[in-house]
């Protein structure tokens, strides 16, 4: 099967020593920059958490067979996610002034919990449904971040986020393709599985630092209908529902809490 990958070279997009011209920082305003730093301080590590998910899925603790196709996908996926980690590191350092040593130390100190999200790691089918849910969610989420934050800090920073959007979209599309090709006989279970994943995410109320369900840490930044749109996108890509309208999809990243000019990052 053909996997899709958005290919880009990090060094061509943003350099390791990138610094942001002061005019962009001034134009963005202090409020925007403070929120952006809080956002980057979270997202940088969530991207690095892909390694712990990969290690679990390819390690001795997994109790089920992993198909060659999904394994091939995971290798490509990890390469992208670790590139996202390095890309966001560069943006985070440039915007906030923290050092790479500090970021790497924080990353190394993280505790990754698998147990609470066991449900989504139980078999290949559920894993792929969760992956589609997570990656479509990330695609919409980075679109919002591009509009609210990344685009204000110069073309290099904006370009990083455009690649994040494309990569997460490609990951989601690959998850759909793998579901169709590897688990086509179980597509009628997708909707119910998505409901269970959403229930799990709501009941966790926190992010377990194993990549999946990281939107649990930022539910206030999304409109109440966010999950509904993600579910409809997935079902439509599987041929099980109509596509959500373009306007409805755009609302997921244009939405703001009442009285706010941006969705603040707690």
Residue numbers of the site for Fe ion (CB under 5 A)?
47, 81, 84, 135, 168, 171
> Across 47-138, where does the E strand assignment appear?
none
How many Å apart are CA 140 and CA 177, to the nearest integer? 19
How many Å apart are CA 73 and CA 81, to the nearest integer? 12
Structure tokens at 120: 């989504």
How many Å apart are CA 137 and CA 231, to the nearest integer? 9
Q: Is the dihedral of CA 52, 7, 76, 173 positive or negative?
A: positive
- Please provide the DSSP assignment of 223-265 as one string: -TTHHHHHHHHHHHHTTSSPPPPHHHHHHHHH---TT-SS---
How many Å apart are CA 142 and CA 161, to the nearest integer? 7
- Which of residues 211 and 226 has its CB atom nearest to Fe ion in the complex? 211
CB 235 within 8 A of CB 190: yes
Rounded to the nearest whole angstrom, what is the least distance from the CB of residue 5 to Fe ion in the complex? Answer: 11
SS3 (DSSP) at 222: coil
Rounded to the nearest whole angstrom, what is the least distance from the CB of residue 240 to Fe ion in the complex? Answer: 23
- Which of residues 28 and 124 has its CB atom nearest to Fe ion in the complex? 124
- Which of residues 28 and 52 has its CB atom nearest to Fe ion in the complex? 52
Rounded to the nearest whole angstrom, what is the least distance from the CB of residue 226 to Fe ion in the complex? Answer: 17
Rounded to the nearest whole angstrom, what is the least distance from the CB of residue 247 to Fe ion in the complex? Answer: 25
Rounded to the nearest whole angstrom, what is the least distance from the CB of residue 22 to Fe ion in the complex? Answer: 29
- Which of residues 28 and 194 has its CB atom nearest to Fe ion in the complex? 194
CB 127 within 8 A of CB 121: yes
Closest CA to 264 of 33, 26, 94: 33
- Which of residues 9 and 260 has its CB atom nearest to Fe ion in the complex? 9
- Which of residues 124 and 135 has its CB atom nearest to Fe ion in the complex? 135
Rounded to the nearest whole angstrom, what is the least distance from the CB of residue 85 to Fe ion in the complex? Answer: 8
């Amino acid at each position: 099967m053909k996997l899709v990958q958005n290919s880009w070279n990090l060094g061509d997009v943003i350099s390791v020593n990138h610094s942001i011209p002061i005019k962009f920082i001034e134009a963005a305003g202090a409020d925007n920059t403070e929120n952006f730093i809080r956002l980057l301080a979270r997202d940088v590590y969530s991207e690095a958490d892909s390694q712990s998910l990969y290690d679990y899925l390819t390690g001795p603790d997994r109790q089920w067979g992993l198909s060659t196709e999904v394994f091939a996908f995971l290798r490509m996926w990890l390469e992208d996610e670790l590139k996202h980690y390095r890309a966001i590191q560069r943006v985070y350092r440039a915007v906030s002034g923290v050092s790479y040593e500090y970021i790497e130390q924080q990353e190394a100190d993280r505790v990754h919990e698998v147990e609470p999200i066991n449900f989504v790691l139980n078999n290949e089918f559920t894993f792929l449904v969760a992956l589609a849910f997570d990656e479509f969610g990330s695609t919409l989420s980075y679109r919002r971040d591009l509009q609210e934050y990344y685009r204000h800090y110069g073309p290099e920073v904006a370009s990083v986020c455009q690649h994040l959007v494309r990569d997460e979209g490609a990951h989601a599309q690959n998850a759909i393709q793998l579901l169709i090709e590897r688990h086509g006989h179980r597509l009628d279970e997708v909707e119910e599985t998505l409901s269970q994943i959403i229930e799990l995410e709501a009941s966790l109320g926190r992010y377990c630092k194993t990549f999946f369900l990281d939107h649990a840490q930022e539910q206030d930044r999304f409109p109440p209908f966010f999950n509904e749109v993600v579910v409809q996108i997935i079902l439509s890509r599987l041929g099980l529902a109509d596509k959500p309208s373009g306007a409805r999809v755009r609302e997921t990243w244009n939405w703001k809490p009442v009285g706010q000019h941006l969705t603040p990052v707690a």
